[in-house]
């Protein structure tokens, strides 16, 4: 009797493992060929979700919002719409120097908890990284020198020190675990807006070749040296004029899983909204066109209109443009909690003049919130 049971169990286990192999064999693989099962699943889900709609993302959604900080279960997007964003963005700036909290005062221990909560709810996490300038110790916006990247690259004077910074970034990702101890997958959107010249890795601060080397060195260190296998890599310049500019600093298809761009309304008036719609349309064409050719997942890395003075921004400016394209998500930037930044918010909060427009936008069948991901 016991023997029969053991035999039956072994047969069931062999069948189960064959089934698992079959499904993974059918799946596309990201640039990390050793990516964890959950990361491969996320990668494939992102492709299939392109046919379902566009996920809504919000930066720092769970940590704070306009005029509040750290209230369990709260999110400005949820206050207004009743649902969490499908995608939540987090900022790693200062993890590299071993700080307890990031440059916007979010504790990394809290961030890890929020990432797990999001994962448990079926949501997706993406991370950006405004790492400090290693030469001066100032912020990522310190562009006084044009040699920071050069000093970080192999043989550069800061190379060894920079690897210790990357080690800390790796340790953060390796500490994101679900209840079973599996690593939680994250889309890492690193060295973003590099076609602009406002970060030390920007177009005025390094050559295209140096930028590419920085990117490749980072992927190789995280993936191959530190064995971080729960990442998808997202490339996100600021808006560009054409595919040539978009690709000028592109590190290559072997190092990128998602292609996107960052684009904001450049002012507060109607004219800037018109310019924004043009820029969004042009960049969506570039990004979806390149994604189709190269087999990458297109997305919008960051967008928004600061303080949303246009009360129909979501349904009249964003929706008519993005709904013409198949993209994974649209991520709106953060709603600052800091008292000194009352106008720095990109999603409405309860009582804001754009709240009803945002509700209408989110209710569109092709705009996906957290709950929609489970259906
Ligand atoms: C910027 C602003 C800053 C913030 C940084 C990193 O766009 O929101 O206030 O510190 O992103 O999150």
Q: Is residue 5 over pLDDT 70? A: no
Q: Please give the distance of CA 256 from its chain centroid, rounded to a whole number.
A: 13
pTM for the full predicted model: 0.94
Taking the CA of residue 302 as reference, the ligand 1 atom at the shortest distance is 7
Q: Where residue 374 falls among pLDDT bands split at 50, 70, 90?
A: confident
Q: Hey, is 32 helix, strand or coil?
A: coil
Taking residues 318-333, report their average pLDDT. Answer: 98
What share of the chain in percent tops pLDDT 70? Answer: 93
Average pLDDT taken over every residue of the chain? 94
Task: Return the domain boundaries, the chain.
Answer: 45-374
Distances (CA, A) of 254 to 83, 215, 216, 267: 36, 11, 9, 37
**Residues 290 and 252: beta-carbon distance below 8 Å:** no
How do residues 50-104 score in pLDDT, each as one tens digit? 999 999 999 999 999 998 999 999 999 999 999 999 999 999 999 999 999 999 9
Residue from 66, 89, 103, 303 to probe ligand 1 pocket by mutation (most atoms less than 8 Å from CB): 103
Does the pLDDT value for residue 343 go beyond 80? Answer: yes
CA of 182 to the centre of ligand 1 (A): 30
Query: What is the set of active-site residues?
Result: 193, 302
**Res. 205: pLDDT tops 90:** yes
Q: Which of 91, 108, 130, 193 to mutate to test the pocket of ligand 1 (most atoms within 8 A of CB)?
A: 130
| Atom 3, ligand 1: residue with shortest CA distance | 104
Beta strands in the chain (DSSP E): 54-59, 64-65, 68-69, 87-91, 124-128, 186-189, 231-235, 258-259, 262-264, 297-298, 300-304, 329-332, 367-368
B/e letters for 31-57, b = 16+ CB within 10 Å, e = fewer, are: bbeebbebbbebbbbbeebbeebbbbb
The pLDDT value recorded for residue 129 is 98
Distance 52 CA to ligand 1 centre (A): 31
Mutation pick for ligand 1 pocket among 93, 102, 104, 333 (CB with most ligand atoms within 8 Å): 104
Mean pLDDT to the nearest integer, 165-190: 98
Three-state secondary structure of 186-228: EEEECCCCCCCCCCCCCCCCCCHHHHHHHHHHHHHHHHHHCCC
pLDDT at 25: 72
- Secondary-structure class of domain 45-374 per CATH: alpha beta
Whole-number Å distance, alpha carbon 195 to ligand 1 midpoint, is 18
Give the pLDDT band (50/70/90) at residue 26: confident
Q: What is the mean pLDDT of residues 27-33?
A: 97
Q: Which residues have CB under 6 Å of ligand 1?
A: 91, 93, 103-104, 130, 334
- List beta partners, residue 65: 68
Q: Which of 14-23, 199-208, 295-304 has the lowest mean pLDDT?
A: 14-23
CA of 211 from ligand 1 middle (Å) equals: 22
Q: Is the pLDDT of residue 9 over 90?
A: no
User: Does residue 18 surpass a pLDDT of 70?
Assistant: no
- Each residue of 284-302: pLDDT tens digit? 999 999 999 999 999 999 9
Alpha carbon distance 211, 256 (integer Å): 14
* Helices and strands in the chain: count of H runs, count of E runs: 11, 13
Q: What is the mean pLDDT of residues 184-198?
A: 98
pLDDT confidence of residue 21: 45
Give the pairing type, strands 68-69 and 64-65: antiparallel
Give the model's confidence band at 164: pLDDT under 50 very low, under 70 low, under 90 confident, else very high: very high
pLDDT over threshold 60, residue 29: yes
Is a pLDDT exceeding 80 seen at residue 10?
no
- In sequence order, the β-bridge partners of residue 304 are 264
Q: Which of 337, 342, 343 is nearest to 67 (CA)?
A: 337
């Amino acid at each position: 009797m016991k023997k029969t049971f053991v035999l039956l169990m072994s047969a069931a286990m062999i069948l189960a493992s064959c089934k698992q192999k079959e499904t993974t064999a059918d799946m596309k693989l990201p640039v990390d060929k050793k990516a964890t099962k959950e990361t491969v699943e996320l990668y494939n889900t992102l492709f299939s979700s392109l046919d379902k709609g566009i996920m809504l993302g919000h930066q720092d959604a769970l940590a704070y919002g306009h005029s509040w900080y750290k209230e369990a279960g709260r999110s400005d997007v949820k206050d207004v719409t009743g649902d969490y964003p499908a995608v939540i963005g987090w900022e790693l700036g200062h993890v590299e120097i071993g700080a307890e909290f990031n440059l916007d005062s979010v504790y990394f221990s809290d961030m890890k908890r929020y990432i797990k909560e999001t994962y448990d709810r079926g949501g997706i996490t993406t991370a950006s990284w405004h790492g400090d300038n290693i030469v001066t110790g100032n912020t990522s916006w310190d562009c006084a020198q044009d040699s920071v990247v050069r000093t970080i690259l192999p043989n550069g004077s800061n190379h060894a020190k920079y690897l210790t910074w990357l080690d800390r970034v790796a340790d953060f990702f390796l500490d994101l675990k679900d209840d079973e101890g599996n690593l939680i997958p994250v889309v890492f959107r690193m060295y973003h807006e590099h076609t602009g010249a406002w970060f030390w890795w920007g177009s005025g601060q390094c050559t295209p070749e140096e930028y590419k080397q920085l990117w490749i060195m980072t992927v190789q260190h995280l993936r191959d040296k530190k064995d971080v296998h729960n990442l998808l890599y997202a490339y996100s310049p600021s808006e560009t004029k054409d595919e040539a500019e978009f690709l000028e600093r592109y590190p290559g298809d072997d190092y990128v899983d998602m292609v996107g761009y960052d684009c904001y309304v450049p002012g507060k008036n109607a004219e800037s909204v018109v310019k924004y719609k043009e820029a969004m349309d042009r960049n969506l064409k570039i990004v979806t066109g390149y994604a189709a050719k190269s087999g990458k997942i297109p997305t919008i890395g960051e967008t928004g209109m600061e303080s949303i003075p246009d009360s129909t921004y979501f349904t009249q400016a964003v929706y008519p443009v993005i709904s013409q394209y198949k993209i994974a998500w649209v991520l709106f930037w953060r709603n600052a909690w800091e008292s000194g930044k009352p106008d720095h918010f990109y999603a409405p909060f309860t009582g804001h003049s754009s709240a009803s427009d945002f509700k209408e936008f989110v209710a569109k069948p092709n705009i996906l919130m957290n709950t929609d991901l489970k259906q």
